[in-house]
């Protein structure tokens, strides 16, 4: 182990006021490719994040979360410790192979007209008012109803699904232990939904997404009913708040960059590029957590087995060493961002999220001009998954 | 016979192809993709799946 020759920056990442897009972080990144934190290391630059994200010496770092919170059994525990995100090696790959075909980009293309109709329906409901609460009136119903469309659940069920998913989400918070009863009840209810869906599609298989999961098989292997329901709950849980938050952040990015909004309105074919640029410069998943599976040395840093390593997404996506012009630019050519993670745990739902957001953003831009904050916005902290929980905006109707 | 080609300027070494079609694609110990351009016809289904799942869509079939 070598002694660092430069002062290694320190970041307090669990301080609620810790800011990703800050002078403090830019200075740290200019000084060093990594920082020490109150919770392992943070990797700040693009090249290093890119390499470590795919390193076989690191595994996904959230498996022990329930245990760290003193939770060692129960429905949530069983679900969490068997879900794709925390499985590793062949156990992970086997489930991923069986889930993959349902997520094929070719099949997701067929859903695009429904995404467009949904976006227009939501915009119709507020466009004459000249203002809206963007999360309540667009981002949340859009993100949730896309999931119900994908899963073939009646769209009218969306408020209930949203409520159950955010209750399970309490398991990620500091009050996990206190909320355990509520979390357990919500997992039980989501399981009932999932079991009903599975039974229905096993009896009446069609061409839809859940039927494809139910029928998925490879080399004579298939998903058990328990694996299916675990996966369905993971999709609801991993796909909803992420998309809602990312859409809220997209609106923030365009409010800060009005000329880019105008460009998108004129050129809707830039929708896919808009999603990439928003996620590179303003990602909801602010870091991806990894844990060292063995002792190893990377560049000048000795990383001991069991150490937590946070791979920073916004910081790497705007690293001047990789992006000489890091500002959001829909016409620029940029290296890929890591807002969907990377390596074996690369987001399974990214084709869905990319397809739905790249329809929503140009439709919004083509119908509302000059979006601006009107006050009263509320935000999640910057650690982990961020975004606005309330975003009142004003605008003018585009003629 | 079909062969497979990876555009190295796009490939970002995520290794999803190696999960989908392990007999054709593999990640070396440094985490870098290695692959066989030619493969047995019986593996065509797996290769097509690898093409689908590649996050950056860097894999192409050639006749
Ligand atoms: C903008 C929206 C989304 C963002 C920003 C996002 C981001 C991510 C990230 C960063 C990871 C990797 C986590 C890690 O490696 O620790 C991930 C994994 C995952 N995501 Fe997404 N996601 C989004 C939407 C979705 C959707 C719509 C679905 C499902 C329909 C989904 C399902 C999953 C699953 C199942 C995994 C685990 C994959 C594995 O471990 O193999 N995500 N996502
Ligand atoms: C499936 C249900 C999920 C549960 C119960 C869950 C659980 C957790 C837990 C326990 C944490 C807190 C870790 C900490 O603060 O140290 C966390 C944070 C996080 N989760 Fe999830 N997660 C889920 C799904 C996902 C998915 C699918 C993604 C990908 C979008 C994701 C991305 C993240 C990220 C990036 C963080 C912050 C970094 C961290 O892991 O510490 N989570 N999650
Ligand atoms: S899945 Fe795509 S990006 Fe990943 S290693 Fe294979 S070809 Fe490269």
pLDDT at A83: 94
Supply the mean pLDDT for chain A: 93
Strand partners, A388: A379
Residue-wise pLDDT tens digits, A35-53: 999 889 999 999 999 999 9
Number of domains within chain B: 1
What's the gap in Å between the CA of B15 and the closest CA on chain A? Answer: 6
Calculate what percentage of chain A has a pLDDT beyond 90. Answer: 81
pLDDT higher than 50, residue A1: no
> Is A97's CB within 8 Å of B20's CB?
yes
Q: Are A379 and A386 in contact (CB under 8 A)?
A: yes
CATH number of the domain at B19, please: 3.30.70.20
Which residue's CA is minimally distant from atom 12 of ligand 2?
A172
pLDDT at A3: 53
Which residue's CA is minimally distant from atom 37 of ligand 2?
A384
User: Residue A247 Cα, ligand 1 centroid: separation in angstroms?
Assistant: 15
Backbone CA torsion sign across A251, A257, A262, A265 = negative
Which residue's CA is minimally distant from atom 2 of ligand 3?
B54
> Is B15's CB within 8 Å of A343's CB?
yes
DSSP A234-300: HHHHHHHHHHHHHHHHHHHHHHH-HHHHHHHHH-GGGHHHHHHHHHHHS-SB-EEEEEESS-EEETT
Q: What is the mean pLDDT of residues A255-263?
A: 98
Residue-wise pLDDT tens digits, A336-384: 999 999 999 999 999 999 999 999 999 999 999 999 999 999 998 887 7
- From the CB of B6, is ligand 3 less than 6 Å away? yes
Instruction: Work out whether strand B3-6 and strand B25-27 pair parallel, antiparallel, or are unpaired.
Output: unpaired
ipTM score assigned to the predicted complex:
0.95
Give the 3-state secondary structure of residue A95: helix
Q: Give me the torsion for CA of A31, A34, A38, A40, rounded to 10°.
A: -170
Residue B17: list chain A partners with CB under 8 A: none
Ligand 3: residue of B30, B31, B33, B35 to mutate (most ligand atoms within 8 A of CB) is B33
Q: Residue A4: pLDDT band by 50, 70, 90 thresholds? A: low
Residue-wise pLDDT tens digits, A154-213: 889 999 999 998 898 888 777 788 889 999 999 999 999 999 999 999 999 988 899 999
> Is A104's CB within 8 Å of B52's CB?
yes
The CATH code of domain A63-283+345-397 reads 1.10.630.10
**CB atoms closer than 10 angstroms to residue A196:** 12
Residue of A nearest to B19 (CA): A93
User: Residue A230 Cα, ligand 3 centroid: separation in angstroms?
Assistant: 27
Interface test with chain B among A88, A93, A272, A288, by most B beta carbons within 10 Å: A93
Residue B31: list chain A partners with CB under 8 A: 51, 54-56, 343
DSSP A379-392: E--SSSB--EEE-E
- Cα(A122)–Cα(A142) distance, integer angstroms: 8
List the structure tokens of B8.
């190295």
pLDDT higher than 80, residue A5: no
- Cα(A390)–Cα(A9) distance, integer angstroms: 33
- From the CB of B11, is ligand 3 less than 6 Å away? yes
Residue of B nearest to A51 (CA): B31
pLDDT at B17: 97
Backbone angles phi, psi at A16, to 5 degrees: -55, -20
Strand partners, A87: none
List the structure tokens of A323.
């992006």
Which residue's CA is minimally distant from atom 1 of ligand 1?
A243
Residue-wise pLDDT tens digits, A215-225: 988 888 999 99
Backbone CA torsion sign across A267, A272, A275, A279 = negative
Comparing C-alpha atoms, which of A74, A298, A100, A116 is closest to residue A212? A100
Q: What is the largest CA-CA distance in chain B?
A: 31
- Cα(A83)–Cα(A230) distance, integer angstroms: 6
Comparing C-alpha atoms, which of A112, A159, A88 is closest to residue A343? A88
pLDDT higher than 50, residue A271: yes
What's the gap in Å between the CA of B18 and the closest CA on chain A? Answer: 9
Comparing C-alpha atoms, which of A389, A369, A366 is closest to residue A379? A389
What range defines the domain where residue B9 resides? Answer: 2-62
Choose the closest CB to B15 out of A51, A54, A347. A54
List the structure tokens of A214.
């139910």
Alpha helices, H only, A32-175: 46-53, 65-68, 75-81, 89-99, 105-109, 112-126, 134, 140-151, 158-169
């Amino acid at each position: 182990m070598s002694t660092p020759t430069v002062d290694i920056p320190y970041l307090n990442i669990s301080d609620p006021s810790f800011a990703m897009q800050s002078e403090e972080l830019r200075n740290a990144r200019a000084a060093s490719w990594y920082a020490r934190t109150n919770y392992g290391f943070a990797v700040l630059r693009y090249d290093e994040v890119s390499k470590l994200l795919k390193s076989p010496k690191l595994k996904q770092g959230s498996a022990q979360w329930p245990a760290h919170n003193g939770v060692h059994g129960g429905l949530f525990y069983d679900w969490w410790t068997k879900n794709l995100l925390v499985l590793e090696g062949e156990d992970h790959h086997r489930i991923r192979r069986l889930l993959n075909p349902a997520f094929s980009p070719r099949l997701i293309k067929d859903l695009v007209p429904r995404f467009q109709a949904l976006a227009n329906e939501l915009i119709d409901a507020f466009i004459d008012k000249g203002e809206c609460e963007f999360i309540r009136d667009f981002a949340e119903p859009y993100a949730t109803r896309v999931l119900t469309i994908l899963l073939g659940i009646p769209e009218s069920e969306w408020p209930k699904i949203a409520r159950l998913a955010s209750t399970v989400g309490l398991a990620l918070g500091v009050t996990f232990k206190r909320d355990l009863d509520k979390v357990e009840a919500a997992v039980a209810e989501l399981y009932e939904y999932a079991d009903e869906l599975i039974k229905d599609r096993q009896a009446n298989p069609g061409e839809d997404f859940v039927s494809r999961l139910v029928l998925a098989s490879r080399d004579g292997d298939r998903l058990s009913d328990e694996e299916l329901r675990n996966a369905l709950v993971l999709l609801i849980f991993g796909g909803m708040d992420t998309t809602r938050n990312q859409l809220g952040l997209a609106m923030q990015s365009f409010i800060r960059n009005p000329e880019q909004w105008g460009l998108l309105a004129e050129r809707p074919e830039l929708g896919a590029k808009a999603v990439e640029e928003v996620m590179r410069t303003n990602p909801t998943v602010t870091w991806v957590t990894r844990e060292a599976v063995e002792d190893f040395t990377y560049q000048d840093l000795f990383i001991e087995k069991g150490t937590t390593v946070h791979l920073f997404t916004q910081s790497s996506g705007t690293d001047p060493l990789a992006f000489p012009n890091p500002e959001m630019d829909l016409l620029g050519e940029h290296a890929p961002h890591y807002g969907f993670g990377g390596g074996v745990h690369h987001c399974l739902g990214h084709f869905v999220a990319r397809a739905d957001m790249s329809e929503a953003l140009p439709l919004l831009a083509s119908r509302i001009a000059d979006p601006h904050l009107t006050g009263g916005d509320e935000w999640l902290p910057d650690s982990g998954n961020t975004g606005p929980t309330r975003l009142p905006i004003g605008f003018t109707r585009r003629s | 016979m079909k062969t497979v080609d990876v555009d190295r300027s796009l490939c970002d070494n995520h290794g999803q192809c190696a999960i989908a079609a392990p007999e054709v694609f593999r990640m070396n110990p440094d985490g870098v993709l290695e692959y066989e351009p030619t493969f047995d016809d019986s593996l065509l289904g797996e290769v097509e799946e690898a093409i689908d799942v590649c996050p950056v869509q860097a894999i192409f079939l050639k006749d």
